[in-house]
């Protein structure tokens, strides 16, 4: 008889776990609070514009491909993708523009533009590649989860190879000498919503994810990843219950027994997988005592963001698909967001103009812009109001107009804005975080919570708050790893 698994939440980690467990022979049901699957992988369609509300960059597609290969399918039949050039376009206050390209000769040209020796970039990318291979071999692919597992896999002799005595910025500045390329490569930390000045140096593995495995776009927008996974789940018999908010995890002794929905209906389960973050799961669904919750303090949430969508009646030809408008004082920007926990006076801004690649996402001759500056997670002891966030929004638009998007306000015909308050309400993320747990050298050495509960052995976690952390490929990999962990545990 098949064992019954309930997955709480249908973010990408939950979908990956559900698919993997169904492929292993479990009967899987997903309970999703919202009206559609995908979690933070979300979409907004309005007046002919289509915006990716959440993730907008696809990397490491081979991790997604595994979900289809295990069922004898091809991902391309479900999710068509294409590579992007340039990867990013980077704008600076002094008018300097630098593009990122994976081709060495093109990247060398960009380095020379800003006075950086191309050999420095080559050496940095070799350093990044070595770190990636080290991290990927164990932490990613083996699903290492505890200090004991790390010691067993890597051995003490390999720990020095992680460059543990530097920050991420320290690793970048060791090789790159110009402020421009230091700022650009520091900002790869955006993938996990953390600070390059506080994250450990081995986070410099992140550039290799792009430079070796490329950067991709999903035709029609990234929400089509969720739709492709939905088709696969339908074929596997995974049951998805939408508008079914889980209000409580019930337990008996050291075992969880099932979930109760907001309507009060109980659903029994042999195994639970929570795609809600670890701390909100223990707080909201299990109502654990404060003493236990304090043991999780090192898993501080990542930053949040102001998510601004603008539908325009014109295009700005200087934009690439992915763009960054850099703070003139990026170290201060990181310090303001991650240590002072204040709205930055001069933010670094990520801007997506998907119509550069895909004309179907906006009316002809128009742009749809997704704009995302990183800002602190919610501090309930010193809360900001929606008005505070909207005043910050005006500062962001001022900066974009100053840096070349002339008359942006005048050309805006549609606007949608989410603050950290909206993000917390929509996804129940911890303090409105976007990327799960922060990567901090001193708080947690960039490691997240373990995937198996330390209190209830048949309760497992998936998503950005557990190893290996945030970002689409990482939570999909987490879903695959947690399924493997469940199978191994179930056989014991």
Report whether 324 contacts 181 (CB < 8 A).
Answer: no
C-alpha separations of 339 from 218, 408, 424 in Å: 36, 32, 21
* Main-chain dihedrals φ then ψ at residue 126, nearest 5 degrees: -65, -45
Q: Is the dihedral of CA 300, 13, 306, 354 positive or negative?
A: positive
Give the Cβ contact number of residue 391 at 10 Å: 12
Report whether 463 contacts 436 (CB < 8 A).
Answer: yes
Share of the chain above pLDDT 70, in %: 100
What's the average model confidence in pLDDT over 85-112?
98
With CA atoms as reference, report the closest residue to 463 among 29, 8, 6, 5. 8
Burial tier of 288 (Cβ tally within 10 Å: 0-12, 13-18, 19+) = middle
Q: Is the pLDDT of residue 492 over 90?
A: no
Q: Is the pLDDT of residue 384 over 90?
A: yes
CA 366-370-373 angle, 5° bins: 145
Strands (E) across 376-466 are located at 412-418, 459-461
What's the average model confidence in pLDDT over 179-194?
98
Burial tier of 25 (Cβ tally within 10 Å: 0-12, 13-18, 19+) = exposed
Q: Is the pLDDT of residue 366 over 90?
A: yes
Q: How far is the C-alpha of 404 from the C-alpha of 347, rounded, in Å?
A: 16
Give the DSSP per-residue string, 285-320.
IS---HHHHHTTTTS-B--EE-EEEEEESS--TT--
Angle between helices 168-175 and 118-135 (to 10 degrees): 140
Strand order through the sheet with 81-83: 58-59, 215-218, 81-83
Q: What is the pLDDT of residue 159?
A: 82
Q: Provide the 3-class DSSP secondary structure of residue 27.
A: strand
Q: How far is the C-alpha of 139 from the C-alpha of 143, rounded, in Å?
A: 5
> Where does the pLDDT of residue 390 fall: very low under 50, low under 70, confident under 90, or very high at 90 and above?
very high
Q: What is the pLDDT of residue 160?
A: 84
Report whether 275 contacts 475 (CB < 8 A).
Answer: no
Q: What is the pLDDT of residue 146?
A: 86
- By DSSP bridging, strand 88-91 and strand 322-325 are parallel
What's the average model confidence in pLDDT over 334-362?
97
Q: Strand pairing partners for 7?
A: 30, 273
Q: Is the pLDDT of residue 1 over 80?
A: no
Model-level pTM? 0.97
Q: What is the pLDDT of residue 157?
A: 82
- By DSSP bridging, strand 239-241 and strand 27-31 are parallel
Burial tier of 331 (Cβ tally within 10 Å: 0-12, 13-18, 19+) = middle
Q: What is the pLDDT of residues 129-158, one digit of tens each?
A: 999 999 999 999 999 998 889 889 999 888
For the chain, the straight-line distance linking the first and the last C-alpha, in angstroms and rounded, comes to 17
Q: Is the pLDDT of residue 275 over 80?
A: yes
Q: What is the pLDDT of residue 158?
A: 87
Report whether 313 contacts 411 (CB < 8 A).
Answer: yes
With CA atoms as reference, report the closest residue to 11 among 36, 43, 37. 37
| Residues 121/122/123/129 CA torsion (nearest 10 deg) | 110
What's the average model confidence in pLDDT over 117-139?
98
What's the average model confidence in pLDDT over 429-436?
97
Strands (E) across 298-426 are located at 304-305, 307-312, 322-325, 349-353, 368-375, 412-418
Which are the contacts of 151, defined by CB distance < 8 A and separation ≥ 6? none
With CA atoms as reference, report the closest residue to 127 among 162, 86, 88. 162
Share of the chain above pLDDT 90, in %: 97
DSSP state of 3: P
Q: What is the pLDDT of residue 296?
A: 96
Q: What is the pLDDT of residue 309?
A: 98
Q: Provide the 3-class DSSP secondary structure of residue 142.
A: coil
What does the mean pLDDT of the chain come to? 97
């Amino acid at each position: 008889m098949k064992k019954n698994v309930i997955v709480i939440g249908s973010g990408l980690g939950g979908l990956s776990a559900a698919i993997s467990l169904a492929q292993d022979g479990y009967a899987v049901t997903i309970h999703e609070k919202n009206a559609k699957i995908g979690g933070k992988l979300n979409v907004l369609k309005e007046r002919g514009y289509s915006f990716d509300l959440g993730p907008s960059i696809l990397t490491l597609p081979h991790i997604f491909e595994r979900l289809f290969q295990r069922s004898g399918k091809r991902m391309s039949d479900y999710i068509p993708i294409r590579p992007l050039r340039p990867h990013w376009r980077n704008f600076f206050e002094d008018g300097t523009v630098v593009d990122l390209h994976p081709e060495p000769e093109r990247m060398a040209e960009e380095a020379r533009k800003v006075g950086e020796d191309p050999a420095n970039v080559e050496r940095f990318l070799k350093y990044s590649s070595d770190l990636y291979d080290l991290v990927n071999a164990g932490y990613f692919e083996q699903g290492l989860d505890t200090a004991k597992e790390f010691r067993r896999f890597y051995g003490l002799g390999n720990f020095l190879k992680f460059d543990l005595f530097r920050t991420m910025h320290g690793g970048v500045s060791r090789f790159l000498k110009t402020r421009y390329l230091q700022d650009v490569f520091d900002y790869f930390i955006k993938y996990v919503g953390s600070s390059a000045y506080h994250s450990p140096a081995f986070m410099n593995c992140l550039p290799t994810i792009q430079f070796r495995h490329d950067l991709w776009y999903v035709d029609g927008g990234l929400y089509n990843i969720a739709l492709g996974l939905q088709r696969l789940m339908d074929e596997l018999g995974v049951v998805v219950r939408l508008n079914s908010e889980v209000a409580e995890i019930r337990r008996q002794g050291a075992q969880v027994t099932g979930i109760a929905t907001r309507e009060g209906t109980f659903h029994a389960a042999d195994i639970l997988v929570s795609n809600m973050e670890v701390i909100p799961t223990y707080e909201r669904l299990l109502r654990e005592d404060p003493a236990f919750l304090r043991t999780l303090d090192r898993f501080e949430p990542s930053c949040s963001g102001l998510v601004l969508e603008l539908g325009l009646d014109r295009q700005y030809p200087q934009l690439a698909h992915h763009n960054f408008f850099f703070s003139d004082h990026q170290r201060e920007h990181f310090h303001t967001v991650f240590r002072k926990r204040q709205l930055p006076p001069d933010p670094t801004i990520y801007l997506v103009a998907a119509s550069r690649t895909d004309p179907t996402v906006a009316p002809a001759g128009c742009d749809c812009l997704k704009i995302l500056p990183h800002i602190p997670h919610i501090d309930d002891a010193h809360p900001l109001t929606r008005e505070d966030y909207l005043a910050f929004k005006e500062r962001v638009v001022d900066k974009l107009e100053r840096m070349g998007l002339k008359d942006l306000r005048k050309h805006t015909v549609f606007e949608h804005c989410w603050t950290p308050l909206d993000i917390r309400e929509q996804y129940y993320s911890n303090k409105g975080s976007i990327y799960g747990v922060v990567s901090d050298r001193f708080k947690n050495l960039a490691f997240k919570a373990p995937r198996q509960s330390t209190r209830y052995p048949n309760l497992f976690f998936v998503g950005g708050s557990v190893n290996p952390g945030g970002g689409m490929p990482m939570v999909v990999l987490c879903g695959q790893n947690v399924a493997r962990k469940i199978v191994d545990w179930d056989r014991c």
